[in-house]
Amino acid sequence: MVAGPSDAPHGLKQMLSRGRFLALVGAAGSLALAGCGGSGEGDTILVGEFASLTGKEATFGISSHEGTLLAIEEMNAAGGVLGKKLELKTEDDQSKAGEPANVVNKLISKDGVVAILGEVASSRSMEAAPICQQSNIPMISPASTNPKVTETGDYIFRVCFIDPFQGTVMANFATNTLKAKKVAVFTDVKSDYSKGLAKFFKEGIAKAGGAVVSELDFNGGDKDFKGQLTAIKNAAPDAVFVPGYYTDVALIAIQAKQLGLGVPLIGGDGWESDTLVKIGGDAVEGHYFSTHYASDAASPKVTAFVDAYKKRYNGKVPDAMAALGYDSAMFLADAIKRAGSTEGPALRDALAATKEFDAVTGKMSMSPQRDAIKSAVIMQVKEGKFKFVETVAP
């Protein structure tokens, strides 16, 4: 019998932090579960997912979850995988540091999942990755683009491109398309994603012959950016790179507009949420960002996905995180089929061997570092919608 946290001896609970306590419970749990349904030997194949279903980046977690669930339902309707139905066990990490470790420990050790899908945010994927690696459980991030995520080890994969590419794409766009000679960079120092993307963007600008005339920081969740934005305005850049998350970016755009900073703001995939427009309104109009796919792309694969998603979720148009969630589950199932097994090492080898996989977000192959090699798209905010500008191949 697996002891739950409430069964713990009083003293033990007080001595251990919640994370360490769950890790201990987990170790016992995996023994107890070996050989039963959750480990893939029963009637279903249990797949774990952790996502920010609530909290600061909730739209990302909800989107990736909805995409993932749709993929699982479609596969089950088509008969499942290896003759078994897939079962998705989802945990909410509340967009909070500390929670990914807790919930992923639980999914692996208590529930006995065969693989983990998640997270969107790089900082949270980096928290969970060592746990998956140590447990020989493959982890597939749908949308974490910081290079460090997969550097954790050979069980950690992603179905998205990485930020050295994304940063270069936006540096070239600023230089070649916007003709910006001087740029400013405004970084969220609380986010691994933001810090990494800012660094790669600056390297790209240097290579393209541009100048970074102002570099300033903020902390994700801040509400007043006027001091930094005034300093940025005084440096007179032609464009400002803001590798932030949609909630912060929307407030930054509003305050930039109030201060009369009339140059394009540009960013990355952290911008792509309807909430950007809901909060930012007029202030985000005309600005640009890079992301993973465009829902209005003229590809049969995209159209089929968009139609199925709208049907399943009351007409909602799937964003990039939804498409990547869908792709992460499809990528896993494809590898399970090729491996003919859900055992960690066999599954890891099959995932690593993926070539030219036909994903909604584009054809993708795994690099030796277990990162997807694929194109990025650039979008512009126009009349409150995201309009496709161009595709950039790797």
CA 376 – CA 231 distance, rounded (Å)? 31
303/367 with CB nearer ligand PHE: 367
Taking the least distance from each CB to ligand PHE, the nearer of 122 and 328 is: 122
User: How open is the CA angle 22-26-36, to the nearest 5 degrees?
Assistant: 145
Residue 92: both structure tokens together: 């909410």
Q: What is the number of the residue whose Cβ is closest to ligand PHE?
A: 270
Q: Which of 120, 174, 240, 323 binds ligand PHE (CB under 6 A)?
A: 120
Q: How many residues sit close enough to ligand PHE to count as binding (CB under 6 A)?
A: 13
Would you say 106 or 195 has its CB closer to ligand PHE? 195
User: Residue 100 or 210: which CB sits closer to ligand PHE?
Assistant: 100
Task: Map the footprint of ligand PHE across residues 180-199, applying CB under 6 A.
Answer: 193
Q: Find all residues with CB under 8 Å of 182, minimum gap 6, and list them.
A: 210, 211, 212, 213, 235, 236, 237, 238
Tell me if 161 sits within 8 A of 145, measured CB to CB.
yes
The answer to whether residue 122 forms part of the interface with ligand PHE (CB under 6 A) is: yes
Q: Minimum distance between the CB of residue 272 and ligand PHE, rounded to whole angstroms?
A: 8
Rounded Cα gap, residues 343 and 340, in angstroms: 9
E strand or H helix at 379? strand 376-382
Nearer to ligand PHE (CB atom), residue 62 or residue 120: 120
| Strand positions, DSSP E, 93-177 | 115-117, 139-141, 156-158
As a whole number of angstroms, the distance between CA 202 and CA 171 comes to 7
Could you tell me the smallest distance in angstroms from the CB atom of residue 311 to ligand PHE? 26
User: In the window 269-298, what residues touch ligand PHE (CB under 6 A)?
Assistant: 269-270
**Tokens standing for 175?**
């230089």
Residue 165 or 357: the one with the smaller Cβ distance to ligand PHE is: 165
Q: CA 347 → CA 227, 306, 359, 391, distances in Å?
A: 51, 29, 19, 32
Beta bridge partner(s), residue 84: 81
CB of 221 to ligand PHE, least distance (A): 12
Residues 128-167 that bind ligand PHE (CB under 6 A): 143-146
- Cβ atoms of residues 320 and 273 within 8 Å: no
Interaction pattern, residues 221-240, with ligand PHE; x per rule: CB under 6 A: --------------------
User: Closest distance between ligand PHE and the C-beta of residue 240, in Å?
Assistant: 17
Q: Which stretch in 104-112, 120-128, 337-345, 371-379 sits in contact with ligand PHE by CB under 6 A?
A: 120-128
Residue 389 host element (H or E): strand 385-392
Contacting residues toward ligand PHE, per CB under 6 A: 57, 60, 120-122, 143-146, 193, 245, 269-270
